[in-house]
Amino acid sequence: MLIAPLPPDEVERIRLLHALNVLDSDPEPEFDRITRLVSHLLKVPMALISLVDSERQWFKSRVGVTDSETSRDLSFCAHAILGTQPMVVEDATRDERFADHPMVTGGPRVRFYAGVPIRSVGGLALGTLCAIDSHPRQLSAEQLEVLQDLADIASKEMQLRETVSLAQKQLSRTDNVLEASEARFRAVFERAAVGVATIAPGGGWLSMNDAVCEITGYSREELQRLTFQDITHPDDLKSDLKALRKLIAGDIDRYQIEKRYLRKGGGTVWVNLNVTKKQSPGGELEYFISTLTDIQARKEAEAALEGLRLELEKRVEERTRQLNKRELELRSVIENANDAYISIDATGAVTGWNRQAEATFGWRAEEALGQSLHDLIVPPELREAHRLGMLHYLATGESKVVDQRLELPALRRDGSSLHVEVRIRALNLDGQRVFSAFLHDITDRRKAQALREREALMDPLTGLLNRRALTEMLPGAMERAGRRGSALAVLFLDLDGFKAVNDTFGHDTGDLLLREVAARLRRVARGSDTLVRLAGDEFTVVLEGLTSDSDQAMKCAERILHAITQPIHINTHTAQVGVSIGLAIHEPHTNQSADVLMKRADSAMYEAKHAGKGCIRLS
């Protein structure tokens, strides 16, 4: 007999089951009707609503069974709650999990079992609705659907109790405020033009608006029996789970990807997915919040556009070989292309310049034709490399840029710079080497990418650098100190009394206080100092260019201590916090890692805490 393993959400599942106060309760007609219907419609002698406790399974309702509970180790239902689909055992004597089971080899001689999980609002499997027979048998698709429908009714009854329990716990909140807030949230949630859903930590769909159902093709009830992994395209699941693990670990506070869902009934749909997480006040993960935007039309358009682009390049190459016969047709295609088109001869002189090239680079065609390309659009620092590269290709036929898709800097007529994506083709026409290129302005795209990269290193609340930025810059700063023969210091700051401000005035005031602390750090820091918010009320200051003693670093720490401990006026409140500072000095040519240096500063900070707070300790 194979004992069922514990599900990954066992602790949360048991906590909820006990909180519902349904175990060992009196029979209820709502559940008894369901088991009677299972017995009657499926023509089985035994039907149960079984709730799987930590050590036992207890029967909330039973037909054909006298015992009110059994050991969990003997429970078929403990296996059934592990899956997302109904578990059907047509002949237990032929199933390796149950062939030697005491209830199979002895009374009541179970042969057939079919169980469907009964789930909470959050998707936790509390137990099953199951049908049992002493003879082997098969369920038709219609019978299985009946069992699923009745299990859904049992789940709704259990979820109703869960909802009532939750409502009772929230009665201390003002009813009018709660109802108004809920109404506003529900209106926004349901009427949102994009899909909005909450996802359980294990991946189960908890709640979703109509847009999610329209995007995926599933009803709410169907989605709540699935996980997001079940309907994610296999090729996209790995990257989605990788980003999700970073979000859970706290490495990122949100992520955005483009992925495909498997629609009900077949086919896929592309979505732009943004995911954040909701944590309890104690820092425990409660659920994920996902927003889905249907980008299927955009993806189809991009695919069509890429196909058109590739076809255009192919046609340009073909028509270049037939230039004398089909020049007018080629000019029409090139002249009206969405990308800049430029052709040059073996000397580098421009022979082709379409309208988009005029718009992109500012030179009219009549001005550009005959001119050297590197004088028009190649930045001065790259012109020699451009010239030598052409000469090398003409001599050897070898090139690092021909037939490659590259991103390169370029110049406009007014001297401003831009970045272009370029694909260069080399052709041999009547024994003469010519080059053609399509160029697409990607300046805005690169700026957006650079902005995203900067934001990834920035703390959004204070505008200081974040932990990731510190991890990247500190080793380089230590290397610079070694080259220059100067000392470097790390100040590890932890605010004293910040929690009391949060508890007294609220988190909004706490956020304003953190911004003011960051502003005071900027005012007292030197221009060469690096200011970092690690997390919560922890900050780090990296001091470069110090002499080998600790006087400079200690004076800087004292200025910071004095600045932060001054009263802070926020709206109508006046708050005051202290700060404990740990100081670690890195002498030039000292063999220690950035992690060791940070741990020294951290330990010194804790020494300051233990010394009574509001002081500085040197590691």
Q: How many CB atoms lie within 10 A of CB 5?
A: 10
Which uninterrupted H or E stretch holds 466? none
Range list for CATH 3.30.450.20 in the chain: 177-294, 323-445
The torsion angle over the Cα atoms of residues 530, 536, 537 and 538, rounded to 10 degrees, is -40
pLDDT, tens digit, 9 for 90 and up, residues 50-96: 999 999 999 999 999 999 999 999 999 999 999 989 999 999 999 99
**Mean confidence (pLDDT) of the chain:** 89
Residue in 287, 289, 290, 288 with CA at minimum distance from that of residue 12:
287
Whether the pLDDT of residue 304 is over 70: the answer is yes
Distance CA 189, CA 70 (A): 43
pLDDT, tens digit, 9 for 90 and up, residues 381-393: 888 888 888 888 8
CATH number belonging to domain 323-445: 3.30.450.20
Tell me which of 549 and 151 has the higher pLDDT: 151
Catalytic residue among 9, 53, 294, 537: 537
Residue 458 CA neighbour count, 13 Å, CB half: 10
Contact yes or no for 421/439 (Cβ under 8 A): yes
Q: Rounded mean pLDDT of 344-367?
A: 90
Query: In the structure, what pLDDT confidence band is assigned to residue 178 with cuts at 50, 70 and 90?
Result: very low
Tell which CATH architecture fits domain 10-167: 2-Layer Sandwich (3.30)
Q: How far is CA 360 from CA 349, 524, 541, 614, in A?
A: 19, 46, 45, 59
**Sequence-ordered list of residues with C-beta below 8 angstroms from that of 242, at least 6 positions apart, any chain:** none
Range list for CATH 3.30.450.40 in the chain: 10-167
DSSP state of 425: E
Domain 457-618 CATH (choose: 3.30.70.270, 3.90.1170.20, 3.40.50.880, 2.30.110.10):
3.30.70.270
Q: For position 429, what pLDDT does the model report?
A: 78
Please provide the distance, in angstroms rounded to a whole number, between the alpha carbons at the two ends of the chain: 60
Find out if CATH 3.40.50.10310 is the number for domain 177-294. Answer: no
Which uninterrupted H or E stretch holds 1? none
DSSP state of 204: B
The residue ranges of DSSP E strands in 229-358, in sequence order, are 255-262, 268-279, 285-294, 340-345, 350-353
Contact yes or no for 134/44 (Cβ under 8 A): no
Distance CA 232, CA 435 (A): 44
Residue 306 tokens, joined: 């890429």
Range list for CATH 3.30.70.270 in the chain: 457-618
Contacts 24+ apart (CB under 8 A), 72-77: 73/3, 74/1, 74/101, 74/102, 74/103, 75/4, 75/50, 76/110, 76/113, 76/115, 76/130, 76/132, 77/48, 77/50, 77/52, 77/115, 77/127, 77/128, 77/130
Residue 406 tokens, joined: 């590259």
Q: For position 180, what pLDDT does the model report?
A: 47
Is 100 among the catalytic positions? no
What is the dihedral sign for C-alpha 28, 30, 34, 36?
positive
Distance CA 456, CA 560 (A): 27
Residue 76 tokens, joined: 């078929």
